[in-house]
Structure 1
Amino acid sequence: MRPLSVTPRGRLARRALITVTLALTCAGLLATPADARASRVRLGSSADVGRASWGGPAYTMNGDGAVVPASMRRAVDAIRGGSGSIDVVVLAGSAPSSGSATPECDVVMGVGGVNSCTTWTLTRASDGNDPQVNQDIRNAEFVYFAGGDQCRYTAWKGTGLQASVQSVVAKGGGVGGGSAGTHINSSVVYDACVGSVTSGEALADPYDSYVTLTTGMFSWPHYGDTVNDSHFVARDRMGRLMAFTARAVQDGLTTQGRAWGVGIDEGGGSLYVDAQGRGTLFGADAYVVLADHRPEKAVAGQPLTYQRFKIWHLRPGATFDFAQRPDCGYYLRSVVAGRADTGLYDGTPAAPCA
């Protein structure tokens, strides 16, 4: 398991930690060593496969950092069209804290239909322009962003790596990730570059300094106007996803005045999305949260008020059409002066589907 961002319980403790960290970084004590280099470990065949066309795109977005074999197998089979094999690249912003140096590739190589899996650990923003990194990505048919720190991933915005990953999807390959790697695959990214925000903090102030959003990284076909979140129920993140979507609408970060939050729980939760935009859930629950109008109140330094979020509760095996997004099957919940309704994680549909 790759390390998660440090998230102390108290706001004061977290601010103190960040202040100390920034001071040490400025002093050079926590800076990346000057001689640090991008590291590469390849499993499987040393030669890439070659083929004129592929059957994707296909996407997997996981509630925690681990690869989910069931959804990964579904993506691999879709991309290769049931025959041949594909090459996979795993991108990580840090090395695993313990165990295997290639935990994602260890699982991927056991899925079947995989020719090779290459893990790149990139510790600097400039690594996004590394020629070998970009060659490996462009030669691959699936790119997986490991868990860790999504702020490191947003630092690759504008580098060759961003365009290389986009080229994989464009040729009919796929992309995915877990935890931080799930965040980076939405069109509005909660980047956590200042620190990790709780639901209570985000509802108390949707413009809190910890609520930092990045746009313009990736926006996948049929999956636009989304804000992803991970470890969803386990870490009680419904409130903050409400705040993220309300903020995205208020600030015009999405189109048509709507923002769709997608929260996936840990413990094997994985959302697979096929080339037609049809999502299928594996392993654990997920939620889709729709903010379809401007907030009644979203002002810096003040609590959020937003009436009637639409929420879909998805259980393993459920499907959700991101190409033709439904207007039924949701329940309603509101936030008034920073306080959310009770029963956020389940409810009776206000508009049942036939």
Structure 2
Amino acid sequence: MRPFPRNTSPASAAASSPRRRPIHRVTACVAAALAVIAGGWVQADQAEASASRIRLGSSADASRATWSGPAFTMNGSGGIVPASMTKAVDAIRGGTGSLDVVVLAASTPGSGSRTPECDAVMRLSGINSCTTWTLTRASDGNNAQANTDIRNAEFVYFAGGDQCKYAAWKSTSLRSSVQSVVAKGGGSGGGSAGHHINSSVAYDACRGSITSDEALANPYDSYATFTTGMFDWPNYAGTINDSHFVTRDRMGRTMAFVARALEDGLVTGGKAWGVGVEEGGSLFIDKNGLATLSGADAYVVLGDHQPEKVAYGQPLTYSDFKIWRLTSGRTFDFKNRPTCGFYLKSVTNGVADSNLYSGTPATGC
């Protein structure tokens, strides 16, 4: 989640914004242009007053009967992480041929290129085209051309920005279009806001961003809002994603989110799994549910029992969250989730244990 336009520095935004504020809404500009650059076609056209389309690479879609995914990328910040994106592209195309990518955004970049994610994607092998759609209204999720492009693509990437706007697409055609990409063996992913929307329980931030201290002091704070039923990807059930994880100290709020998901029945089976990824980190998840981390650290936070105390206006008490810390190159099996290798941390009357981001892993369990 990022309450400022794509390409805006998180540090500068935090410095100029109050600690707690509503998510910034940015109206996208619309451009129309046709040019040839870097040996590929760049096509831009206006589809609706609030929807813009810019396509890089081939003007014709890749044609192929079957694909080898699904595959997913879950990024801690908004940009493409080449290492994990390359793994996803290769997994989906089975190492041969090329595929089409669609990037979905709800705002234009604050500066620089209008297509920063596609610029990065086009530098990878196995890419036929990359199309950026900027959709600024909830109803733009029914844009016919956008849905056609999505359904013809093999990977959909949700840019950073505002996950509340992404959650608003739940009742539009866009949701089923993205699901169709995964169903045919393609993939989905995203960074920051795009990471949030790809979990089973999405922290939608529709009333504003909440800090760890606020969430632990009152897990039912009005800023702690969720969307369910948007996506429920294979092997990734019961998850709640969080981003910018260590830099913005979000372990505490993920703990509160996990407790809320258990108390409110937002997950099944009595377990909720927070997945926090640090800026610069990315989880590639293959069709068998095996996640491999590239870049900065990631954390999986398990709540496997009901909270001791979670109530409106009261601080959280929850004993023994099980936490796995992943470093670059480490794996986590979301299909056959581990029962060992975690460390334990608790929250008592809204106060979390010290050193939340490190601990001695359990053995022999």
With the shorter chain as reference, the TM-score category is over 0.9
Corresponding residue SS for 2:169:
coil
1:185 equivalent in structure 2: 198
Residue 302 of structure 2 aligns with which residue?
Answer: 290
Asked if 1:57 is matched to 2:70, the reply is yes
Tell me what 2:173 maps to.
Answer: 160
Match of 1:117 among 121, 126, 130: 130
Q: Distance in 1 between matches of 2:8 and 2:184?
A: 32
How far has the Cα of 1:36 moved from its partner?
3.2
Alpha-carbon offset, residue 3 of structure 1: 4.5
Hey, what does 1:102 align to over in structure 2? 115
Structure 2 partner of 1:318:
330
Q: What is the CA distance between 1:37 and its match in structure 2?
A: 2.4
Query: Which residue identity does 1:265 align to in structure 2?
Result: E
C-alpha separation between the residues in 1 aligned to 2:9 and 2:198? 17
- Tell me the residue number matched to 2:261: 248
Q: Which residue of 1 aligns with 2:313?
A: 301
- Note the residue ranges of structure 2 that are not aligned, 5 or more in a row: 1-5, 30-47
State yes or no: 1:225 paired with 2:218: no
Q: Is the 8 A contact 2:7 2:112 kept in 1?
A: no
Deviations 1:224-265 (A, max 9, x none): 100000000010000000000010000000011110000000
Question: Which residue of 128, 132, 140 maps to 1:127?
Answer: 140
Work out whether 1:281 is the aligned partner of 2:293.
yes
- Residue 149 of structure 2 corresponds to 136
Tell me the TM-score normalised to structure 1 length: 0.92
Q: Secondary structure at the match of 1:156?
A: helix
When normalised by structure 2's length, the TM-score is 0.89
CA contact (8 A) 1:200 1:239 kept: yes
Please list the CA deviations of residues 77-128 of structure 1 after superposition, one character each: whole Å capped at 9, or x if unmatched. 0000010000000000000010001000000000110000000000000000
Aligned partner of 2:343 in structure 1 is 331
SS state of the match for residue 175, structure 1?
strand
Report the number of matched residues: 338
What is the CA deviation profile of residues 265-285 of structure 1, one whole-angstrom value per residue up to 9, with x for unaligned ones? 00x200000000000000010
Query: Quick one: structure 1 residues 4 and 227, their matched pair in 2 at CA, closer, same or farther if it must change by over 3 Å?
Result: farther
d(CA) in 1 for partners of 2:111 and 2:28?
20
- Do structure 1's residue 349 and structure 2's residue 353 form an aligned pair? no
Distance 1:185 1:339 in 2: 29
Partners of 1:71 and 1:233 in 2: how far apart? 20
Spell out, residue by residue over 1:22-72, the C-alpha distance to the aligned partner (whole angstroms, 9 max, x if none).
Answer: xxx9xxxx9889x83200000000000111110000000111001001100
| Gapped regions of structure 1 (runs ≥ 5) | none
